[in-house]
Amino acid sequence: MTVPSALQSSASHAERLLEPAWAKVTAITPEAEGIATYWLKFIDPAMQAAYSFLPGQFNMVYLPGFGEAAISVSSDPEDRSVIGHTIRFVGNVTRAVSRLKVGDLLGLRGPFGAPWPMAEIEGRDVIIAAGGIGLAPLRPPIHYIMNHRERFGKVFLLYGARTPSDLLYPNEYKKWGEAGIQVQVTVDRADEKWQGQVGVVPMLFYRFRMDPNSVVLTCGPEIMIRFVVYEGLARRIPSEKIYLSLERNMKCGQGSCGHCQLGPYFICKDGPVFRFDALEAFFNVEEF
């Protein structure tokens, strides 16, 4: 996969990739139990104006005394005024982030990684399949598609979470639907108020006739990704039209330390977005 132009850096951009720059928390949106979106601005306005990312890229989020964690950018790539990170509080860094308040600072390094291939997939139908917090790195492509709706064919969002209260961004589905995205949501376990679908994300493929020229973008638990790939292939969507975003433990974020290696690839540098045909040998769908 080619290096995105955003990463072909000037000296100052290269420095930003090595050294965290301070950003202020301007707002916090609680999303679900143990998950919130942090809206950030670099304290240096010139840096904020210069910062751009491509859908699917991530930043290393840094808190002194706790360390760094890779976190996808979940906001609109064309809104340069703010950077959104949707964070699940699971460990050292992310639990420390959960204690931040509006006005506090955290460090950002980035953006890193190969993005979703938004320009290459223009003209096609797009199936976005996400599970749980896997919707966070897929929200920028949703924004991108809404910003350039005429460039895409039919667009389906197939999204699932464990319970209704685990669904991310529920207040945005109506707006996405009005922009011509067919939003289908499912949960593993309903509660008494839930009137929607119950079941796993790959099941949602059965609700539509999908064109074999479609493109699939998927992120979520690996077991879900495997079944999404399987459903895509079963509809004759070729493996080079199926893109997935993978998470692995990361340290440096730029292919030096080897923490996130998968076969010949570094997830941080060659991914996190991969074409399925590149990963097929290391990601055996038939196993399941």
Ligand X SMILES: Cc1cc2nc3c(=O)[nH]c(=O)nc-3n(C[C@H](O)[C@H](O)[C@H](O)COP(=O)(O)OP(=O)(O)OC[C@H]3O[C@@H](n4cnc5c(N)ncnc54)[C@H](O)[C@@H]3O)c2cc1C
Q: Binders of ligand X among 44-73, rule CB under 6 A?
A: 58, 67, 69-72
Stretch that binds ligand X, among 8-16, 37-45, 100-108, 248-256 (CB under 6 A): 248-256
70 or 118: CB nearest ligand X = 70
Structure tokens at 95: 């639990």
* Near ligand X in 154-193, by CB under 6 A: none
Cβ neighbours of residue 119 closer than 8 Å, sequence gap 6 or more: none
SS3 254: coil
Q: What CA–CA distance (Å, rounded) separates 143 from 45?
A: 24
Rounded to the nearest 5 degrees, what angle is found at the Cα of 250, between the Cα atoms of 285 and 200?
A: 35
Do the beta carbons of residue 229 and residue 279 sit within 8 Å? no
**217, 55, 202, 70: which is closest to 137 by C-alpha?**
55
* Stretch of residues binding ligand X (CB under 6 A), selected from 16-24, 81-89, 141-149, 205-213: 81-89
Residues in region 97-136 near ligand X by CB under 6 A: 133, 136
Q: Among all chains, which residue has been given the structure tokens 């079944």? A: 227
User: By CB under 6 A, which span of 19-27, 39-47, 80-88, 117-125 interacts with ligand X?
Assistant: 80-88
Does 272 help bind ligand X (rule: CB under 6 A)? yes
**Binding of ligand X by 31 (CB under 6 A):** no
Check binding of 92 to ligand X (CB under 6 A): yes
Cα 284 to chain centroid distance, Å, stands at 22
Using the minimum distance from each CB to ligand X, give the nearer residue, 35 or 157: 35
By the rule CB under 6 A, 138 interacts with ligand X = no
Alpha carbon separation from 6 to 51, 66, 81, 166 (Å, rounded): 9, 28, 17, 33
Q: How many residues make contact with ligand X (CB under 6 A)?
A: 23
Interface residue list for ligand X (CB under 6 A): 58, 67, 69-72, 86-88, 90-94, 133, 136-137, 247-250, 267, 272
